[in-house]
Chains A and B, each alone.
Chain A
Amino acid sequence: GQSLEQPSEVTAVEGAIVQINCTYQTSGFYGLSWYQQHDGGAPTFLSYNALDGLEETGRFSSFLSRSDSYGYLLLQELQMKDSASYFCAVSGSGGSYIPTFGRGTSLIVHP
């Protein structure tokens, strides 16, 4: 089986930097991905890490440490529109490619 832990809520101000952590337990590992979901909307893909290190895509970066079973999503230059839920998802348990999602982190950005 697998399990993921992430904070339930994070708050920050516009223009700041915020980091959302994710720790996971899994019997096998292919990759860690991140999704953003606005209220009432569909989850949308942000990033995928299969190897250790930092992946940068614009204002968003994602980090993975396989030895620590840990990753994080880093959001820079926060904007009001970044207020949303952020989910980490892991694939690879039992050799399966099916992404298993965490419970999500609600990010609230204040002006």
Chain B
Amino acid sequence: GAGVSQTPSNKVTEKGKYVELRCDPISGHTALYWYRQSLGQGPEFLIYFQGTGAADDSGLPNDRFFAVRPEGSVSTLKIQRTERGDSAVYLCASMREQGGTEAFFGQGTRLTVV
């Protein structure tokens, strides 16, 4: 596609529910990042994929968060037993390759846990 696509754009869920957020990166980009952004803050790193493998998941806050990228393109961020503190905008970004200088961001998924 022309840019990074994220779906859904908005998600409202009840506390305790499971959610999946999808990211479709720019075709051919091997590096994919998930970030979380709260109001008035910068993007906070969650997890980085190089190809199909999670090269760095040190930013995942706890084991309720998990992400996959099975075929090296689309990625899904999965959050179990959601909590109100998980409410934020979840951003996905891709780069042409590891060590690239320009990250291309999607519009994000605004997650609200009620």
Measuring CB to CB, which residues of chain A are less than 8 angstroms from any residue of chain B?
Answer: 30-31, 33, 35, 41-45, 48, 50, 87, 89, 96-104
Contacts and interface: CB of A to CB of B under 8 A. Distances in A.
A41 B107 contact: yes
Contact residues on B (Cβ < 8 Å of other chain), bracket: 20 to 34
Given A87-B42, A103-B42, A98 B56 contact: yes
Given A42-B91, A103-B42, A104-B42, A98 B48 contact: yes
A96 B56 contact: yes
Interface of B: 4, 31, 33, 35, 40-45, 48, 56, 91, 93, 98-108
Contact of A87 (B43, B45, B99): B43
22 contacts: A30-B99, A35-B103, A35-B105, A41-B107, A42-B108, A43-B105, A45-B104, A48-B101, A50-B101, A87-B42, A87-B43, A97-B31, A97-B100, A98-B56, A100-B45, A101-B42, A101-B43, A101-B45, A102-B42, A103-B41, A103-B42, A104-B41
